[in-house]
Amino acid sequence: MREIFEGADGVRLGQGAYTSDFAERFRRIGPEGFWKLERMQAYDEGDFPSWLAFRRGEWEESLRLIEELRPEYEEFFGRIARAGFRHRRVRIVERPLTPYVQWELHILRVKGEYGEEVSVLDAERVAAYEGEGPLPELCVLGGEAVYVVEYGPGGVPGGAVRYTGPEVVARARAFVRELYGAGEDLAEFFPREVAPLPAPAPAP
């Protein structure tokens, strides 16, 4: 992993600046597409309604609220399809699944029905890359930027470091693509590993 960013100069962005910069560049994604690597096993989703219901211990309500998002996801991924690029995500999972990951995979399953392509990869498969710590959270936008996304205590979003050098972006994209290819399609993983699970404990 270190060699991806070796010798490259990144720009540190606070959460607000990262959100704005990401939104602007997302509009310009070309045929290289969008690639995301998720390694952490829990995040703070702020005021997201399904997340709040999950935190209150209202599992069925949290799932119902996810279902209500179908029109929003259909519209969002429809725009992506019309723009001519693909939206791919690698979700690293530890065993047993954390309550957060169990909840998130329900969301990703619905998103997958409208166009997001999710590959699930067991954490043990990336152990060789983690001699110096867990893999970073990465977002690669087309050929123009890669963000190393940062989080504070409890998984609260904390901004990102942006790299725009073409070689760095290409290396990061190739790495996430490699992990994506090594994983399992969520459409196959979910019915076997997630659907049979009982309701998880509420998130802290």
pLDDT at position 89 = 98
- Residue 191 in contact with residue 185, Cβ under 8 Å? no
DSSP characters over 132-163: TSSPPEEEEETTTEEEEEEE-GGG-EEEEEEE
Model confidence, pTM: 0.96
pLDDT at position 203 = 75
Whether a cis peptide bond, with omega within 30° of 0, leads into 96 is yes
For β-strands 34-38 and 137-141, DSSP reports them as antiparallel
Distance CA 99, CA 33 (A): 30
Per-residue pLDDT of the chain (204 residues; tens, 9 = 90+): 778 998 899 999 999 999 999 999 999 999 999 999 999 999 999 999 999 999 999 999 999 999 999 999 999 999 999 999 999 999 999 999 999 999 999 999 999 999 999 999 999 999 999 998 999 999 999 999 999 999 999 999 999 999 999 999 999 999 999 999 999 999 999 999 999 999 999 877
Q: Which residue has the tokens 């992990």?
A: 179
Inter-axis angle of helices 59-67 and 99-112, nearest 10: 20
